[in-house]
Amino acid sequence: MKRIVSLLLAVVMLFALASCGGKEEDATGEYVPDADPSPSKSAESVLFEKSVTVTTGRDVKVKFYGRDGGLSSIGVTPNGAEEVKHDISEASEKVLGRVEYAVSDDPEFKFFTEDVNFDGYLDFAIQSWKKDGGTPYYCWFWSTLENTYTFGAALENPVFDRANSKIYCDVTEGNDEYINVYSVLNGSVMLETSQSVTATPSFETDLSAFEQYMNPADRDGFLILANKETELGEDYIPENLVDIANTRQDGRATAQMVETAAKALEALYIDMYAAGYTDVSVTSAYRSYADQKYIFDGFLNQNLADGYDYDTALAMVLSDTAAPGTSEHQTGLCCDMHSSPSADAARTQFPTTPAFKWLTDNAWKYGFILRYPEDKVDITGYSYESWHYRFVGRYHAAKIHVMGLCLEEYLQQINK
């Protein structure tokens, strides 16, 4: 497996920081470690130390020792007991299958700690970096259930999802970057899934001409948030709006999106048609502030005409229709697409279709996410919409897809 996965270590922590231990091949081409890849045997000194309260009455002190500019060992002193030191080269060889140790001109490290409560057990997470923040090192987890450490290698930007007992993190290997999902159960951390966010995924057809749109160079330029708490305002008009070729042909005006999103959607349709799903069409995309106000006021007035008082009528509309200035449609980055004769019919019909299953599995490849998932109503503030897809670019769409988050949750995590 290309990614280094988290391993449960039964008694004490095994830990290593990565740089470049020497390595060579024998005559058969098999890897063999150098005869003496460890740092020279000058006296060790404490690079830095950290004491953290894991839980009430339980403290852990961690010391990082180094010699000759390299990290040589780690000392762990749980709850005032005698320190136990762990040799870096021995630990890395057992966990990674090779000897690695860190060498740095600057022996100081950033230090990250967090208490996380998974399924009733208080776990303790630690991560360290080089001081410049440019190179992630390793992460490990302390379980108060068994007083053991779980070791994970090269975990970048960990996100702790306590509600679902999961840890999300980036993993970089060479020129490729992955998003890994780890499940946590009774203090054990295990890799659940891993998805590349930089490698080009497989497609039904040759979409190389659309790659610049599906995976735009401006990676973060399409993360605009519009919801009930974040307004775009009356004057917001996106640039570079273009027509969408796959607008439903029933007399409605041709829908439009921002060009990058529209071209990515074109690629999605080419592949979706090639996969045999040809009955899905776009029913709505960009809407101006005025357009949204017309739609919103129409629903509100209809509810009032049906006899509901104003507060009830307004709440009914707001459950599935954005107030003017807060609609995603005003960004020009989303569209409604389905195979049903109307949105009302699509509520029950479209989620049961093979085309929807295909979109669920594949929309991220083209840079799109399902914007209002069924299990995120309390967070998005809107009813489940199986037809509403939002362009964010493949890098972020892949992460959102694997992590199972809605846009609000994802933006909150990466902005941390």
Give the whole-angstrom CA distance, residue 37 versus residue 409: 44
How far, in Å, CA of 367 to CA of 61, rounded? 44
Place of tokens 């027509």: 243
Measured between alpha carbons, how far is 400 from 15 in angstroms, rounded to an integer? 30
Distances (CA, A) of 276 to 177, 204, 311, 389: 31, 10, 46, 20
- Residue 24: active-site member: no
Residue 387: partners with Cβ closer than 8 Å, 6 or more residues away: 283, 336, 337, 338, 343, 346, 350
> Which member of 83, 177, 385, 409 is catalytic?
385
Burial 293-321 (b: 16+ CB within 10 A, else e): bebbeebbeebeeeebeeeebbebbbebb
| Vertex 314: Cα angle to 308 and 227 (nearest 5) | 160
Residue 307 belongs to what H/E stretch? none
End-to-end CA distance of the chain: 30
Distance (Å, rounded) from C-alpha 185 to C-alpha 326? Answer: 40
What is the three-class DSSP state of 204? coil
In degrees to the nearest 10, what's the CA dihedral of 147, 87, 23, 37? Answer: 180
User: Is residue 374 a contact partner of residue 348, using CB atoms and an 8 Å limit?
Assistant: no
Q: Strand 7-8 vs strand 385-391: parallel, antiparallel, or unpaired?
A: unpaired
CA distance 247 to 260: 17
What positions carry a catalytic annotation?
385
